[in-house]
A and B are shown apart, each in its own frame.
Chain A
Amino acid sequence: MTVTRRGLIQGTLAAGLATMPGVRSLAFAADGSPDVLVVVFLRGGADALSLVAPADDPDYLAARAPELRVATEGPKAGLRLAQEMAPAIDFRLHPEAAPLAELYAGRQLAIVHAVGLSDGTRSHFVAQDLMEHGIGQEGELARTGTGWVARWLDGDGARPPGPVAAVGTVAAPPATLARFGAAVAVPDLRAGLAPPGGPQAADVLAALHHGESPYERAARAALGGLSAIDGHLSRGPDGKVESYGAEGGAVYEETEAGRALQTVARILKMDVGLRVACVDVGGWDTHEHQPGRFANAVGQLSRALAAFHADTVRYHGRVTLAVMSEFGRRLRTNRSQGTDHGHGGAMLVLGGRVAGGRMFGRWPGLASHQLDRGVDLAVTTDYRAVLAELVGPAAAARAFPGFRTPPPLGLQTG
């Protein structure tokens, strides 16, 4: 189905606010299953100008060494994106992102460019903290102990989160889930999640952790979350967890992104009340040797996203995936064949309900006077505007208090 923005807007006028693109909240399907948001965080600051490149922009050509640009022609030419965000510029995906180009052409993938923080930090750790806590300014950090997803789910009186409402795929739950009691951090399911030592140990562990200290509460939440997931893992006659059978011809590679998204898909299909999954993918801090490292990282990420999308085809009506990073990288390349920390970045939004095949946002340009502090891609869309649109206004009010949500970009088809 081809959906134009104009058609959508006319439709919403007739149907009322509830179906307006972007105002549709992540809510519940007709059978009561919750909608699911998967947030993929690219740790280290992904170079948005190589991922979604303004390939023929003269300022881009002037500032970047050729091997750190996406080309418009030749064997390594980028993959051209049909878009109306900045029609005069030939935006191209990195050549290793062919699976993403296909999803974009199939209108499952949308891109928001020049997105990020309004704060001027170029620190990984400050920028990640701001985004994970869902705030805009460093001054707010000291008084914001909770992650934005924690505020969203914890405040949901209509549907209190169950034991597996939020999953993180690294050993330490990300700050996005900070102070969320029911976050389950599980990097891998393949060896099972039952506590070691069999039922005897499980009984002892349950009896040992009945107090209210943070440690004991965490232990109880872990025991609950682990057994809720482990109980749904199918096992062979030898007691070993059976290997996961992906659907839709999906193939997950043995990469950080592949493993993590396979874990998310497997838990999603257990129907245990998953609502948010936080996936971390590292390797984006390309100060040095960027061409090979970035190509590798983009290829792995693209294939993992495509595998997840194919595998979860039965869930496309209620799963949306967003890809973000703490910042983009410097326009000008350094002499290590790399790029240093920058500012504006790009976000990807993937799913069956996404108004895909389009680029969103406002392109600020790359001339010196258009750059943030004279060096970096400026931010014209706050990262919270994208997330708020995906979770809907009621949840956004809890997740991002004090953030004035701009008019919806129209990222979802309703």
Chain B
Amino acid sequence: MEEEEALRETYFAELDPGRRKELLERFSRDHPQDAEVPLFQTLWSLRHVDPKNAEHPVDTFLWQIVNLISLYRVPGFFSGGTEKEIRAAMDALGFSAVAKYGDKGREILYLELRNAARRYFSTCESKSYGKKLMGIVTMNESERRDKLAREVWQLTEGLSRRFETDEDMALFRKAVRDEFIVQYPDGEERLERQEKRRTKKRIA
């Protein structure tokens, strides 16, 4: 039981899809009767299997995070239909796929979403993420964190408020926020700063 728990934890802590696949195969082999196995496999396929080309490595959850950030920035002229796109993104993030598994499904999806959020945060350490002024200037660490906090705020608060998709996004929002706060000690403070700034803007 302890070994099973450890394997599960390692699976959700691991960011490399190849290594995760190995862990999933091991888990399925060692615990074939475990009720969670088909759920893990469903989410794995949804996230990492390209339906058009099985050989092509993809991470649809990561793409949906990037996509949702872009959706928040859609100007008013083109915002019609964005709610529908957000719901489609939630579907692609596994919400429909886990529905039949009930609470267990939501629990596993939450862990998978946190894993995807952590993978997204890891990309923010890349050279390209920290470029500004047409790629000429590099951001300092604080600016980089602020950029990420802004994106996390857009994902967790901005989108649902702008497009009134609170309920549809609840689990996703919680997963991203929780992961951000766990990963960055000043995460909560930075999110609060974002919130204050937005509230001030609304009052003004």
A binds B: no
B binding-site residues for A, Cβ under 8 Å = none
